Structure 1
Amino acid sequence: MTTETKIDPMAIQQAAEQLRGAAASGKPVAPIRDLISAGGVDAAYAVQEINTRHALDSGRRLVGRKIGLTSVAVQRQLGVDQPDYGMLFSDMDVPEGIPISLDQVIQPKVEAEIAIVVGRDLPYPDLTTAEMIRAVEYVVPAIEIVDSRVANWDIRIWDTVADNASSGLFVLGAVPRKLEALDLRECGMVMEVKGEPISVGAGIACLGSPITASLWLARVMARVGRPLLEGDVILSGALGPMAGIARGDVVEARINGVGTVRAAFAAEVG
């Protein structure tokens, strides 16, 4: 026996407008799950797709994807058994060394990740692990500034998926590394502020490997009609717990074999 889910187009549109309004005003909204949860996760992705199309129609440029919920513990917390994904746009990419104003985001937190840059188009829903590995142009360390348009991070799976997988900004390390010499599962990570660790982890925490997570993403993107393209960036998932930040913080993430990346947050308002 299967359980039918119903997607209400008006509720989907309302949820999309609420999240766009929160992003524009900088004021978070109440959880939108009550509007759309009857439609399941598909309804949440329908909200995300509306806002993706709105962003593209407004002139924003798609440059990659992010993978969320790569930790089994977080999946259990949200009652799901797979990751989620969101879109990365060019205006989310902050060059390393450029101070980030916290006024650009609403409720920011940081995660250290391995970013994978794709060297070829991947329109294949049956992509193999070997093909995914061959498609990797290079990897760099990354700090993702995750954010939520939902007040107090009061999120369930429908909220975060609809909210572009709680995406915000991202900073990529400047020195690319080829994949051949690396086992991403074994890459340990330490993220620090003022020399004090705020998160530790390793590649194995990311669905067992960032390659496994990226393979999942590539297959899903091909199936939904937004395949990964040459040059796209994949934020492959958090290597450790996300952490809070404050004005004036300089966050440094070191990932063994992959490199170091820093995200500097402006001390002043504005």
Structure 2
Amino acid sequence: MNQQTIEQYGDELYQAFVSRRVIAPLLSREPQIRIEDAYRIQERFIARRLAAGETIVGKKIGATSKPVQDFLGVYQPDFGMLTSGMVFADGDTLDLGQMIQPKAEAELAFVLKHDLKGPGITAMDVIRATDYVVPCFEVVDSRIRDWQIKIQDTVADNASCGVFVLGTTRGDPRRLDITLAGMVLEKNGEVFSTGVGAAVQGSPANAVAWLANTLGELGIPFKAGEVILSGSQSALVPVAEGDELVCRVGGLGSCRVKFSGRSAV
């Protein structure tokens, strides 16, 4: 795929983000899109956000657990960039009017104290480089109409990044068994789903190591202070005005988020 086409689709995704509208799946229009092309489109999309004043604050892994893979029909992990405009805090109320077709998922976020650059990174390297972990919500939001995505579509769309909400209780992954720690997700006071760290590639640390190695092959390091979202441990949760979500991680604490307004779709 030539550079002009890459920029065209990256700009189209950025305009969809700004105007809160959906676009037709890219793969339906360009059946020859490769994964490599999709990541170049993602780079253009992110470059537009950075030019508008945002900064990179971390990375995310997507499509790591079976419930999310089954919902999306995407059966391999992908990654996206986290920007300063995506960050929210525990207990915040999110305005759905700023989103298109959001869905929430509960996971574990890693905050790094040391740089980490692959290839050759192991799960133990990830644990050593981590300052702390916190429960979090990622609210994914596709710019692709009706979530009709294949892997190329979601990759180009920055792994369907929307926003993320970080809990405040910091855990030491050297003291907490993040593989066996259970997670309970409640929606409006009722249990919606349960999960465990092992559902994410055997351990959230494995998922983070995979991403460090994948990005390392591209010359992109993890940097101290960055947030790394390790992948959903829950099913995707539809959200609407008035909803409240709480995820609780055994031995770690909880993260809470509320929603107001109406999304574009």
Percentage identity across paired residues of the two chains: 42
Aligned length: 264
TM-score when scaled to structure 1? 0.91
- Structure 1 stretch displaced more, 70-79 or 96-105: 70-79
CA distance in 2, matches of 1:69, 1:80: 7
Q: CA deviation at 1:149?
A: 0.4
CA distance in 2, matches of 1:159, 1:102: 23
Match of 2:92 in 1: 98
Q: CA deviation at 1:34?
A: 3.1
| Mapping of residues 123-134 of structure 1, within 5 Å | 123-134=117-128
Match of 1:8 in 2: 2
CA contact (8 A) 2:100 2:143 kept: yes
- Superposed CA deviations along residues 215-246 of structure 1, whole A, max 9, x for unmatched, are 00111122212211001101100002111011
Q: Which of 164, 170, 173 is the aligned partner of 1:170?
A: 164
| Mapping of residues 187-266 of structure 1, within 5 Å | 187-266=181-260
Counterpart of 2:60, as a letter, is: K
User: Is residue 2:65 matched to residue 1:88?
Assistant: no
- Superposed CA deviations along residues 173-214 of structure 1, whole A, max 9, x for unmatched, are 011111112111111111112211222211111111100000
Q: CA deviation at 1:116?
A: 0.6
User: Is residue 2:109 matched to residue 1:115?
Assistant: yes
Which consecutive residues of structure 1, in runs of 5 or more, have no partner in the other structure?
A: 1-6
Bigger share in strand: 2
Counterpart of 1:54, as a letter, is: R
CA distance in 2, matches of 1:199, 1:230: 32
Q: CA deviation at 1:151?
A: 1.1
User: Is residue 2:42 matched to residue 1:48?
Assistant: yes
Q: CA deviation at 1:74?
A: 5.0
Counterpart of 2:256, as a letter, is: R
CA distance in 2, matches of 1:105, 1:231: 27
CA contact (8 A) 2:27 2:33 kept: no
CA distance in 2, matches of 1:205, 1:225: 28
Q: Which of 12, 22, 32 is the aligned partner of 1:28?
A: 22
- Superposed CA deviations along residues 68-89 of structure 1, whole A, max 9, x for unmatched, are 0102465577676631000101
CA distance in 1, matches of 2:262, 2:140: 20
CA distance in 2, matches of 1:102, 1:76: 25
1:90–1:186: structure 2 CA closer, same or farther, 3 Å change rule? same
Q: CA deviation at 1:35?
A: 4.1
- Secondary structure of the residue aligned to 1:179 is coil
1:38–1:73: structure 2 CA closer, same or farther, 3 Å change rule? farther
Match of 1:3 in 2: none
- Structure 1 stretch displaced more, 190-199 or 242-251: 190-199
CA contact (8 A) 1:72 1:207 kept: no
- Secondary structure of the residue aligned to 1:180 is coil
1:81–1:137: structure 2 CA closer, same or farther, 3 Å change rule? same
Q: CA deviation at 1:114?
A: 0.4
CA contact (8 A) 1:8 1:39 kept: no
Which consecutive residues of structure 2, in runs of 5 or more, have no partner in the other structure?
A: none
- Superposed CA deviations along residues 113-157 of structure 1, whole A, max 9, x for unmatched, are 000111111123222332222111110000111100011111111
Counterpart of 2:137, as a letter, is: I
CA distance in 2, matches of 1:144, 1:237: 9
